[in-house]
């Protein structure tokens, strides 16, 4: 109850800060304005080899305000929510707006699109772990990993993070919306060694709800197992073969899709999926959708960063691209309507084709199972994809040996159309969630 009272008190503070910013904008002659304010706090603990390396408690506050003078726009921010600081931020934004060029696409979102229903999405679950308990958890996590296998010879440490915060957004349409949420996590990174050399890997757990975190010992054990299984890694000869991306890496492929269908890339004509709405971009079984009103999920929200109501929708259905990811600004540049995605996507999902990871490996038979990607070799203009990789070579549907120092390459257009199956092993640790992806063929460059 005390934590809920604190949340409500903080919510009142940020709501009032937004109201003051909008009032000040009106006073200085703005034709319209929008503002957001936040208060957050958290605890971060990290240990290494049983010793505390960092212990940080933070409480932060911030305000951002955008002022419109007709089609001219100016923005400013402040790390202080006192009335005089809010006034200064509004005046600074107004001065900036006077010097900017007019932009026909600038302005608030359509008032008819503002959210009017605010369901309780159950996103606020404070941990109140405290420094002492946080240290003990991190130590237990690391100790479990170090004791898991004699080949675990060193540690890059374990960490525990606890975050809670509230945010208010408002604009001159009379809209003010409040959001509150928590995020908690625990991670461990370990080093394994044998006669072949050393390997390093990690594991983490994350949730809005502390009771849904995996136990500390389980996190340490997973980190140890992932490190040990990479020992004695080999290179592959250059070849073309099927590839399965682990669930946590497949999330990056979905992110590449989002980047290619986002308004900024589209109106700049810098996307490999330009003018592809209504076209087949995936295998026919693929359905990708947003579901922003799911309880307790990381991407849940009733409104986007412009106050526009969010709603469940298909982005890809039957393999066909059904919609883009647009804010009001990018939508106007394209002659379209916002999709409620100012600030990004909300709980993006892809339907599974029904196989477990083990079944995917068995059905693939021979190929590469990728568990780590290195570098940023993704060109969203052309779709060209080339990343350093590590993982396991698969034969007869089973992992044969670890591989490293290879590069996998293809084009995202071909990779999307060549998506054979999506596993049931969905990684639930973020706003974008998917199981493992099986791509029919990619070039693997080795020795």
340 and 402 both lie in a single domain: yes
Going by C-beta distance under 8 Å and a sequence separation of 6 or more, which residues neighbour residue 76? 64, 65, 89, 90, 92, 93, 96
Work out the angle at residue 217's Cα, subtended by the Cα atoms of residues 214 and 222, and round it to the nearest 5 degrees: 75
Summarised one tens digit per residue, pLDDT across range 57-75 is 999 999 999 999 999 999 9
User: Would you say residue 11 lies in a domain?
Assistant: yes
How far is residue 11 CA from its own chain's centroid?
A: 24
User: Would you say residue 371 lies in a domain?
Assistant: yes
What local confidence, expressed as pLDDT, does residue 135 receive? 98
208 and 262 both lie in a single domain: no
91 and 182 both lie in a single domain: yes
What local confidence, expressed as pLDDT, does residue 249 receive? 98
User: Would you say residue 234 lies in a domain?
Assistant: no
50 and 193 both lie in a single domain: yes
Mean pLDDT of the chain: 97
- Average pLDDT on 191-205 reads 97
Q: Hey, how many other C-beta atoms are within 10 angstroms of the C-beta on 108?
A: 21
For residue 123, CA distances in Å to 56, 137, 181 come to: 24, 23, 5
Q: Hey, what's the torsion of the CAs at 422, 423, 426, 431, to 10 degrees?
A: -10
Which structure tokens are listed for 301?
Answer: 């929200």
Write down which residue in 178, 198, 228 finishes a domain: 228
41 and 167 both lie in a single domain: yes
- Average pLDDT on 82-95 reads 98
107 and 200 both lie in a single domain: yes
CA–CA gap between residue 18 and residue 41 (Å, rounded): 19
154 and 184 both lie in a single domain: yes
- Would the pLDDT of 2 be above 90? no
> Quick one: 9 exposed, middle or buried, by C-beta within 10 A (0-12, 13-18, 19+)?
exposed
407 and 335 both lie in a single domain: yes
Range of the domain at 265: 239-445
What local confidence, expressed as pLDDT, does residue 128 receive? 87
CA–CA gap between residue 283 and residue 214 (Å, rounded): 35
Write down which residue in 162, 194, 228 finishes a domain: 228
Summarised one tens digit per residue, pLDDT across range 10-35 is 999 999 999 999 999 999 999 999 99
User: Would you say residue 337 lies in a domain?
Assistant: yes
279 and 173 both lie in a single domain: no
User: Would you say residue 16 lies in a domain?
Assistant: yes
258 and 368 both lie in a single domain: yes
Summarised one tens digit per residue, pLDDT across range 327-340 is 999 999 999 999 99
94 and 9 both lie in a single domain: yes
CATH of the domain at 157: 3.30.2290.10
User: Would you say residue 379 lies in a domain?
Assistant: yes
- Would the pLDDT of 272 be above 80? yes
Q: Is the pTM of this model over 0.85?
A: yes
More confident site: 375 or 158: 158
Task: Report the domain count for the chain.
Answer: 2
CA–CA gap between residue 415 and residue 392 (Å, rounded): 20
User: Would you say residue 85 lies in a domain?
Assistant: yes
Write down which residue in 228, 252, 273 finishes a domain: 228
- Would the pLDDT of 284 be above 70? yes
83 and 221 both lie in a single domain: yes
User: Would you say residue 274 lies in a domain?
Assistant: yes
CA–CA gap between residue 347 and residue 100 (Å, rounded): 35
């Amino acid at each position: 109850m005390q934590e809920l009272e604190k949340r409500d008190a903080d919510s009142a503070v940020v709501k009032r800060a937004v109201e003051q910013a909008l009032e000040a904008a009106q006073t200085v002659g703005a034709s319209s304005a929008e503002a957001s304010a936040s208060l957050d706090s958290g605890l971060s603990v990290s240990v290494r080899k049983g010793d505390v390396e960092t212990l940080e408690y933070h409480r932060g506050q911030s305000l951002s305000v955008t002022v419109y003078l007709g089609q001219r726009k100016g923005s400013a921010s402040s790390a202080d929510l006192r009335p005089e600081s809010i006034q200064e931020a509004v005046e600074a934004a107004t001065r900036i707006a006077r010097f900017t060029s007019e932009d026909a696409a600038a302005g608030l979102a359509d008032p008819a699109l503002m959210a009017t229903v605010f369901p309780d999405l159950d996103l606020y679950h404070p941990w109140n772990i405290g420094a002492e308990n946080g240290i003990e958890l991190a130590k237990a996590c690391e100790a479990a990993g170090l004791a898991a296998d004699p080949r675990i010879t060193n540690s890059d440490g374990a960490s525990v993070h606890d975050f809670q915060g509230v945010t208010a957004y408002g604009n001159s349409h009379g809209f003010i919306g409040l959001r509150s949420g928590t995020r908690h996590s625990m991670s461990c990174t370990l080093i394994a060694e044998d006669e072949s050399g050393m390997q390093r890997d990690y594991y983490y757990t994350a949730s809005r709800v502390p009771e849904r975190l995996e136990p500390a010992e389980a996190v340490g054990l997973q980190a140890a197992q992932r490190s040990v299984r990479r020992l004695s890694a080999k290179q592959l000869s250059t070849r073309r073969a099927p590839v399965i991306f682990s669930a946590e890496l497949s999330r990056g492929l979905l992110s590449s899709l989002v980047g290619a269908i986002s308004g900024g890339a589209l109106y700049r004509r810098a996307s490999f999926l330009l003018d592809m709405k209504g076209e087949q971009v995936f295998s026919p079984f693929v359905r990708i959708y947003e579901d922003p009103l799911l309880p307790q999920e990381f991407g849940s929200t009733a409104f986007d960063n412009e106050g526009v109501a969010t709603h469940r929708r298909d982005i890809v259905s039957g393999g066909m691209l059904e919609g883009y990811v647009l804010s009001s600004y990018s939508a106007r540049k394209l002659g379209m309507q916002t999709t409620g995605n100012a600030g990004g996507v909300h709980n993006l999902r892809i339907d599974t084709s029904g196989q477990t990871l083990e079944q995917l490996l068995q059905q693939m038979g021979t190929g590469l199972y990728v568990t780590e990607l290195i570098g940023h070799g993704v060109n969203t203009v052309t779709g060209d994809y080339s990343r350093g990789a590590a993982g396991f070579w698969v034969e007869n549907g089973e992992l044969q040996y670890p591989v490293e120092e290879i590069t996998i390459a293809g084009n995202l257009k071909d990779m999307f159309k060549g998506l054979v199956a999506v596993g049931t092993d969905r990684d639930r640790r973020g706003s974008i969630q998917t199981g493992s992806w099986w791509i029919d063929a990619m070039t693997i460059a080795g020795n």
